[in-house]
């Protein structure tokens, strides 16, 4: 990944389990890769909801012994979040808890709505007051205004008015409700505990940490209502559409040890590398990955091509979320603080560098330069996804089209810009034909510009202001 594309968030929810808040905390640990800006948990003891959240990593927010001391109950939802540009502030940390005519409810969202600005503007004209810049608050306002008699019906009514990507968890004192949008953009799974409790999570790696079975994925458009007695009801309250889960969950976002959309991520990534080797061979001495997200694809490329796999780049895993840029300019400082070449591996070698994707190309350019400085004779870039030419509107923080290298450069021009001897991408057809992919029509809008859902909000306008005046880009993920 030549810049850090940001997925919107990770969700975990539990009901009918002991120490639910502590287990939600553990589940969020496993999902930390999905969001590093904020973390939050809401717990229910069957009578009331108690909320705790803050900015920072899961351990920073909940690591102190007192953080979960008063969060007692048998049901909880948890959330880790990435922000969009300009919207990193406490007010936007989730889950959100509100009191309204039906009682108390907390909500947490993974995804991005494409008509939230339109709905919000209409509601503000009617007197609604918003305190955050998130799509989630729009959903909660719609829920509160719904004339439906029950909470599940009100949730369905609210969500029938929005467009875009949403995997959602709602917690009331008595119920935990999980919903996945009709297109099924973002993953959300369900499993059961040995004692009969019900657990939800964005990825199965959270279930693994809780010593639970992988379970199954919620179907697109499915709503599941669970209570503390182990009762689980499945509903399909939305008009069905053609499913379009995000293919980038397999390419980059999900952990390789996870199971999403009822499929093992590692298996798909390895096969992507194999197809890449078939479609884009190279004469080389070694294959290396850009750790960590492309490790599995690089192994697949090595296995198919017969070129030995080596660790040619070492990643620094102990970088904070921000660091001070030195006054004296260090060329490619961002890449150099994150990666360091292994000179003994790279010296005098023809190197295939396998990465999962290229966005702007600036970090890839820096890596190619570093690898050459380490003594490599040739550097061949091989990318385990097609060229990214279009921004995402469904929950991935991507630059605008004019900032995407592939949108304005040929492959040859891109290779020259990054200083590589050659550049090759897996084809869209080759990627989608991979054995083991779920039989569905994936969202590939970032590659081909075919958006499953039209965008109502103007992606060039600033996103919704929060109470502190912070703004975020409307084309990026919000939750």
Distance CA(36)–CA(201), nearest Å, equals: 17
Q: Identify the CA nearest to 232 among candidates 295, 281, 180, 177.
A: 177
List the structure tokens of 94: 């989730």
Distance CA(218)–CA(190), nearest Å, equals: 7
Count of H-run helices and E-run strands, the chain:
16, 23
Helix (H, G, I), strand (E, B) or coil at 405: helix
Is 9 part of the annotated catalytic residue set? Answer: yes
Distance CA(181)–CA(305), nearest Å, equals: 40
Distance CA(101)–CA(349), nearest Å, equals: 68
List the beta bridge partners of residue 191: 199
Distance CA(25)–CA(30), nearest Å, equals: 9
Q: Identify the CA nearest to 78 among candidates 156, 176, 157.
A: 176
| C-beta of residue 225 within 8 angstroms of C-beta of residue 200 | no
| C-beta of residue 443 within 8 angstroms of C-beta of residue 301 | no
Distance CA(467)–CA(469), nearest Å, equals: 6
Length of the chain: 479
Active-site pick, 9, 246, 392, 446:
9
- Helix 135-145 crosses helix 116-125 at what angle (to 10 degrees)? 50
Return all residues near 127 (Cβ < 8 A) that are at least 6 apart: none
List the structure tokens of 272: 């992507």
Distance CA(60)–CA(66), nearest Å, equals: 12
Instruction: State the catalytic residues.
Output: 9
């Amino acid at each position: 990944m030549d810049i850090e594309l940001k997925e919107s968030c990770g969700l975990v929810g539990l009901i009918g389990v002991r120490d639910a808040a502590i287990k939600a905390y553990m589940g969020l640990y496993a999902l930390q890769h999905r969001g590093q800006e904020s973390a939050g948990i809401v717990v229910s003891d069957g009578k009331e909801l108690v909320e705790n959240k803050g900015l920072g990593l899961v351990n920073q927010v909940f690591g102190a012994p007192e953080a979960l001391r008063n969060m007692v109950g048998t049901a909880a939802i948890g959330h880790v979040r990435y922000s969009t540009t300009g919207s990193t502030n406490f007010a936007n940390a989730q889950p959100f808890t509100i009191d309204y005519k039906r009682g108390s409810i907390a909500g947490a969202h993974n995804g991005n709505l494409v008509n939230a600005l339109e709905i919000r503007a209409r509601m503000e004209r009617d007197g609604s007051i918003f305190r955050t810049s998130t799509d989630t608050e729009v959903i909660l306002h719609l829920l509160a205004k719904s004339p439906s008699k029950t909470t599940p019906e009100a949730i369905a009514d609210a969500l029938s008015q929005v467009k875009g990507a949403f995997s959602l968890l709602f917690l009331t004192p008595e119920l935990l409700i999980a919903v996945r949008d009709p297109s099924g953009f973002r993953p959300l799974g369900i499993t059961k505990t040995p004692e009969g409790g019900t657990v939800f999570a964005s990825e199965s790696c959270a279930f693994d940490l809780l010593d639970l079975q992988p379970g199954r994925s919620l179907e697109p458009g499915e709503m599941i209502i669970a209570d503390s007695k182990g009762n689980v009801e499945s509903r399909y309250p939305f008009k069905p559409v053609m499913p379009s889960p995000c293919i980038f969950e397999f390419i980059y976002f999900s952990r390789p040890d996870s199971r999403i959309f009822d499929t093992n991520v590692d298996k798909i990534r390895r096969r992507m590398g194999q197809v890449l080797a078939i479609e884009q061979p190279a004469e080389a001495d070694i294959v290396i990955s850009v750790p960590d997200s492309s490790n599995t694809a690089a192994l697949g490329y090595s296995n198919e091509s017969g070129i030995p796999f080596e660790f040619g780049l070492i990643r620094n895993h102990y970088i904070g979320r921000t660091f001070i840029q030195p006054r004296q300019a260090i060329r490619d400082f961002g890449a150099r603080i994150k990666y360091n070449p292994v000179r003994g591996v790279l010296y005098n070698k023809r190197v295939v560098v396998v990465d999962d994707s290229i966005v702007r190309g600036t970090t890839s350019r820096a890596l190619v330069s570093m690898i050459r400085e380490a003594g490599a004779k040739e550097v061949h870039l091989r990318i385990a996804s097609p060229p990214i030419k279009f921004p995402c509107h469904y929950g991935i923080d991507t630059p605008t089209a004019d900032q995407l290298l592939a949108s304005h450069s040929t492959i040859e021009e891109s290779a020259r810009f990054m200083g590589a001897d050659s550049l090759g991408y897996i084809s869209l057809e080759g990627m989608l034909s991979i054995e083991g992919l779920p039989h569905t029509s994936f969202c590939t809008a970032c590659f081909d510009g075919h958006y499953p859902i039209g965008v109502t909000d103007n992606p060039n306008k600033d996103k919704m202001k929060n109470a502190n005046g912070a703004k975020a880009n409307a084309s990026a993920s919000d939750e």
